[in-house]
Amino acid sequence: MRRVLAMALLVGTCTMWQQGLQACGDKFFLVSRGDRFTRAYASLYPGTIVIYTGGNNDISKALADGRLQKYFSRAGHRVTVARDQAALSQALESAPVDVVMASLNEALVLLPRIDAAASKPTVMPVEGERDRNDGTTTQHQFTATLKTSDRINGFLAKVENVMKTRSASSSRRAS
């Protein structure tokens, strides 16, 4: 008899407690009601990014993929895609640019042109497996190097670090 009474009391308590669960954000625990993690990333230091896709290699083709641009835009960055060197020159002259992304081989070729830009953008080369294995990586020239094996959060975090550094150095120059 005690067991039946204890069980009835437990079921009654749980039933009353369950009605209060729909308050204060508990609805986010239901399936498909929460925020997606890909949309939750927001940059504290948004900037202007130019992605150069003018090369003939696999990395340039991967950079041309619209998903990368979408993730950067969702994080708050302004993204421009330069499909050739003329478009890159136009992007560098038309507005201040913070970051230029290109494959490692293309970045080495374009480095003098990018350094001549008025906004002095940071070059972030993307290196692939072949670039890492051949030993010709000149990583000391670049402040940050991206790898094709990095996930999108790695790309976003490295761009965030570069933007934070640029923001800190520009605020030091201003004061």
| CATH code of the domain covering residue 114 | 3.40.50.2300
Residue 124 near residue 43 (C-beta atoms within 8 A): no
Within a domain: 66: yes
Within a domain: 21: no
The residue among 128 and 78 whose pLDDT is bigger is 78
Phi and psi torsions of 48, nearest 5°: -105, 125
Q: Specify the DSSP element, H or E, that contains 148.
A: none
Within a domain: 6: no
Q: Is the pLDDT of residue 173 over 60?
A: yes
The residue among 38 and 52 whose pLDDT is bigger is 52
In this prediction the pTM is 0.71
Q: Specify the DSSP element, H or E, that contains 26.
A: none
Within a domain: 108: yes
Domain that holds residue 87: 40-129+142-174
Residue type, 105: N
Helical axes 152-174 vs 66-75, angle rounded to 10°? 50
Within a domain: 12: no
The residue among 13 and 83 whose pLDDT is bigger is 83
Please choose, from the candidates 83, 119, 129, the residue with its C-alpha nearest in 3D space to the C-alpha of residue 98.
119
**DSSP secondary structure code for residue 121 in this structure:** P
Q: Is the pLDDT of residue 134 over 60?
A: no
Q: How many domains does the chain have?
A: 1
Model confidence at 38, pLDDT cuts 50, 70, 90, reads very low
Within a domain: 56: yes
- Residue 35 has a pLDDT of 53
Q: Is the pLDDT of residue 23 over 90?
A: no
144-155 average pLDDT score: 83
The region of weakest confidence among 17-31, 66-80, 106-120, 137-151 is 17-31
Model confidence at 18, pLDDT cuts 50, 70, 90, reads low
Within a domain: 14: no
Within a domain: 120: yes
64-69 average pLDDT score: 88
Burial class (CB in 10 A: 0-12, 13-18, 19+), 89: middle
Residue 149 near residue 127 (C-beta atoms within 8 A): no
45-54 average pLDDT score: 93
